[in-house]
Amino acid sequence: MNNCIVRQQVDELFRTQSRKVFASLVRLLRDFDLAEEAMQEAFAAAILQWDDDGIPANPAAWLVSTGRFKAVDIIRRREKVLAIAPEVTRRIHEVCEANVQRAGVEIEDDQLRLIFACCHPAIDPKVQVPLTLREVCGLTTEEIAKAFLTPPATMAQRIVRGKAKIRDAGIPFVIPGLIDLPARLDGVLSVIYLIFNEGYSASSGDSLLRSELSEEAIRLCRLLLELHADAEVLGLLALMLLHESRRAARTSNDGEIVLLEDQKRGLWDREKIFEGKRLVEQSLATRRFGFYTLQAAISAVHADARTAADTDWNQIVALYSVLVQVDPSPVVELNRAVAVAMRDGPDAGVMLIDVLLEQGELAGYHLAHSARGELLHRAGRTTEAVAAFEQALELTQQEPERRFLKKRLAQFG
């Protein structure tokens, strides 16, 4: 087989399947660092072996199997270096025996297992989500730090602590039983939501969208819904589907950002909208809904508007006001401020955003400055708008957003 074709296939598999392979190896090897090293060696072996033998029918299974054997080789190499034969023998035996038992629930999904392990109650809540984003989804420490508005060095320390805790406490890589599941749900939902957000609006890089991440988040949430039909699982799946319905309209043919009010609504995926609205209704009917369902309800209001001018901003502001009570975060306050501006005029929104910026938590959040610049522009306060857009440009690492902001600034001459 042509070596260039094999390399392309392996590169594509690495992009789409590497975290699934890694999750399986973590479950089998019970060691994050060993699993990472074994996975890398398995992909390297694939380039050489598939060139001679052809690509196997189930490449992911081949990579997991090869990764297990590579792990044995790695441990034996360590034996020669560290001369700790008894411990190494035990580890080789563990790897070769490989834990293949089912997790008490008929769902064979190692990424979901790994998410539950990373969100175990023994792990600091501040560590659970970053650890999962790094180990399950392969996001870089810098990307995760950006999502949490946290310095990369601080985030790196949290991730290292989380891996050490799983190793030292012997936290199992299993999906919990139905009795324990509700207590573990919040952390898992947070992880899935942040996976989706990174795919829906990448924190850095040349592309605004990373569809493989948002698709994976939706897949994991569907699995979770099969496991536990909770109102907020319904709400999160609805929210992601409603957001995802707008994917085709969010960027132009040349990859430039298109704001919600300027999107061609004929490009919105009506099937996803229909399913999302149905899930919202199911969640609201339980009267046990929360953060995700309220956000989904807001997205449903946008989906119902035939044009941007038809948007029911009174209802959106009301929903955001409830959401602020449920989850009083500065980002939710920012979104509410924009909704108020759309209802009451740009100056009203600017006043609210200024208060948020003075509080400090959003000072480094580029979208706060970008939103402020947009409202100042609409209010005719050009000099202030330019300063706000310049501040947003300085803070953002996402290339399409940088281009968008530069175009905005160019409009002011």
For residue 408, what is the domain's CATH number? 1.25.40.10
Q: Are residues 122 and 84 in the same domain?
A: no
62: nearest Cα among 32, 31, 17: 17
Query: Would 386 be classed as within a structural domain?
Result: yes
Are 214 and 114 found together in one domain?
yes
8 Å CB contact between 362 and 330:
yes
Q: Judge contact between 179 and 201, C-beta under 8 A.
A: no
Same domain, 150 and 214: yes
Nearest partner of 278 among 303, 309, 314, judged by Cα: 303
Does residue 326 belong to any structural domain of this protein? Answer: no
* 19-27: average pLDDT: 84
Distance CA 225, CA 236 (A): 10
For residues 216 and 302, state if they share a domain. Answer: no
Residue 289 has φ and ψ, to the nearest 5°, of -75, 170
pLDDT tens string 286-332: 988 899 999 999 999 999 999 999 999 999 999 999 999 998 899 99
Model pLDDT, residue 83: 53
Write down the pLDDT at residue 102: 37
Does 23 share its domain with 50?
Answer: yes
Range of the domain at 357: 333-412
Is there a domain that residue 193 lies in?
A: yes
pTM: 0.72
Within a domain: residue 78? yes
* Residues 188 and 210 placed together within one structural domain of the fold: yes
> Does 239 share its domain with 204?
no
Count of structural domains within the chain:
4
181: left (phi over 0), alpha (psi -120 to 50) or beta: alpha
Q: Do the Cβ atoms of 38 and 74 come closer than 8 Å?
A: yes
Are 224 and 112 within one domain?
yes
Residue 57 lies in a domain: yes
Spatial CB neighbours of 36, under 8 Å, sequence gap ≥ 6: 22
Backbone angles phi, psi at 397, to 5 degrees: -115, 0
Residue 392: inside a domain: yes
User: How far apart (Å, rounded) are the C-alpha atoms in residues 232 and 283?
Assistant: 7
Token pair recorded at residue 132? 């999962």
**274 lies in some domain:** yes
Q: In this model, does residue 204 exceed pLDDT 50?
A: no
Q: What is the mean pLDDT of the chain?
A: 84
In a domain, 214, yes or no: yes
> What does residue 281 show for φ and ψ, rounded to 5 degrees?
-60, -40
**Model pLDDT, residue 305:** 94
Q: Are 401 and 355 within one domain? A: yes
Domain boundary among 194, 210, 228: 228
